């Protein structure tokens, strides 16, 4: 594969990096950490025996274990890459093994709930710098990961107020080494922004694909056959991991419900425009949204190529 990430670092950001949960995100981090020399020693910790043996076969880590407490021992950075709902119990399990000065981070798609779940288990003298790489695909598991997943994608850090600036700077350096652009904000603001840009679109996709599957007047084979008419892009999003997305909605309830309320009002306005033949309202709305698409392309967060320029390995979730 071409080295689009640039050359490996001469000095690793971390001496010993422990990744908990070697699915899409955790295994992508292991791959990029190895390729870019972001860590000297990589420890892979996963609850699943199947995942652990696959991680060993793929040689994604130097040490592979199912024991969280033991796995995090002597790590100078631990990154939780498990579903949002599992973060509290994993944090509790790792507590006893953490070394002084270690940095604890995560990759969860929700931040307020993760801070609430994990912070109580962070010992004195250990730093907590939550993170969310805004990058992904609808695939899961260690085989789905790839080292360029985070390249040119945003990673949002939500460090608690007063967090050690050096710990934040090292976490930033790690993500920049993985090819990401890094921004900092509060957990609450993160959850509001992501509710509209990621969580609500996923809910809409899950809903529309479910509705199409339940239709009686249109057969399922017709839905699949004529899916190019817009539906196909929803099916990709609606194929995303059920555990991950169940946890996202359960853990970002308030922000998602707020955005869903606004969405429903705006949908009613469009419904009204269709009912009363208000072509001008529809045309103006669609013109405004087309401009938003153009600005996303202009800042390089997607391609203008037909079919969204989608390549088999182009993470963008
Ligand atoms: P994934 O592919 O399903 O991987 C999760 C891994 O964690 C699996 O190997 C799972 O094992 C393991 N695991 C679950 N509970 C565990 C526990 N208690 N202890 C140790 N290992 C455990 O999921 P993913 O897509 O990488 O998502 C992981 C995190 O990244 C989530 O918090 C998600 O919100 C966040 N994220 C995902 C995306 C995305 O597009 N997928 C994007 C940004 C952030 P089993 O398979 O046996 O359950």
- What pTM did the predictor assign? 0.92
Distance of CA 269 to the CA centre of its chain: 32
Q: In this structure, is residue 260 part of a structural domain?
A: yes
Tell me which residue has its CA closest to atom 45 in ligand 1. Answer: 48
Q: For the chain, which ranges sit under pLDDT 50?
A: 1-2, 309, 312-316
Which pLDDT score is estimated for 170? 98
Which pLDDT score is estimated for 34? 98
Domain of residue 246 covers: 189-277
| Residue where a domain terminates, one of 185, 207, 229 | 185
Q: In this structure, is residue 230 part of a structural domain?
A: yes
Q: Is residue 33 domain-shared with residue 123, that is, in the same domain?
A: yes
Q: Is residue 30 domain-shared with residue 125, that is, in the same domain?
A: yes
| Residue where a domain terminates, one of 185, 206, 232 | 185
Q: Is residue 142 domain-shared with residue 257, that is, in the same domain?
A: no
Q: In this structure, is residue 241 part of a structural domain?
A: yes
Tell me which residue has its CA closest to atom 11 in ligand 1. Answer: 48
Give the span between the Cα atoms of 181 and 156, in whole angstroms.
9
Which pLDDT score is estimated for 1? 43
Count of structural domains, the chain = 2
Protein residues with CB under 6 Å of any ligand 1 atom: 20-26, 46-48, 51, 81-84, 86, 89-90, 107-109, 133, 136-137, 140-141, 241, 244, 317
Q: In this structure, is residue 294 part of a structural domain?
A: no
The beta-carbon contacts of 203-211 under 8 Å, at least 24 apart in sequence, are: 203/249, 203/256, 203/260, 204/234, 204/263, 205/234, 205/235, 205/237, 205/238, 206/237, 206/238, 206/245, 208/234, 208/238, 209/234, 209/235, 209/238, 210/238
What is the percentage of the chain residues whose pLDDT exceeds 90? 83
Which pLDDT score is estimated for 308? 52
Phi and psi at 19, nearest 5°, equal -110, 125
Q: Is residue 168 domain-shared with residue 107, that is, in the same domain?
A: yes
25 CA to middle of ligand 1, Å? 7
């Amino acid at each position: 594969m071409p080295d689009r990430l640039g050359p490996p670092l001469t000095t690793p950001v971390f001496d010993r990096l422990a990744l908990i949960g070697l699915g899409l995100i955790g295994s992508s981090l292991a791959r990029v950490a190895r390729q870019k020399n972001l860590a000297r020693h990589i420890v892979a910790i996963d609850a699943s025996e199947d995942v652990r043996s696959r991680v060993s076969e793929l040689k994604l880590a130097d040490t592979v274990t199912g024991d969280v407490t033991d796995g995090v021992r002597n790590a100078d950075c631990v990154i939780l890459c498990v579903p949002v709902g599992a973060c509290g119990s994993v944090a509790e399990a790792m507590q006893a093994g953490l070394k002084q000065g270690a940095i604890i981070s995560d990759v969860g798609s929700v931040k307020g709930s993760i801070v609430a779940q994990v912070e109580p288990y962070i010992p004195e003298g250990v730093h907590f710098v939550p993170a969310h790489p805004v990058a992904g695909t609808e695939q899961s598991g260690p085989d789905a990961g790839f080292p360029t997943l985070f390249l040119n994608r945003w990673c949002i850090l939500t460090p608690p107020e007063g967090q050690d600036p050096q710990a934040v700077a090292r976490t930033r350096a790690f993500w920049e080494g993985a090819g990401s652009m890094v921004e900092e904000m509060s957990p609450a603001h993160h959850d509001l922004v992501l509710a509209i840009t990621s969580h609500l679109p996923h809910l809409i996709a899950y809903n529309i694909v479910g509705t199409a599957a339940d239709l009686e007047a249109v057969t399922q084979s017709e839905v699949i056959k004529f899916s190019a008419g817009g539906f196909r892009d929803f099916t990709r999003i609606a194929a995303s991991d059920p555990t991950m997305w169940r946890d996202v909605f359960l853990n970002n309830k308030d922000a998602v419900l707020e955005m869903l309320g606004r969405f429903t009002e705006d949908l009613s306005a469009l419904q009204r425009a269709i009912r009363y033949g208000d072509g001008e309202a529809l045309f103006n709305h669609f013109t405004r949204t087309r401009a938003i698409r153009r600005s996303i392309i202009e800042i390089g967060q997607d391609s203008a190529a037909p079919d969204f320029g989608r390549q088999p390995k182009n993470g963008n979730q």
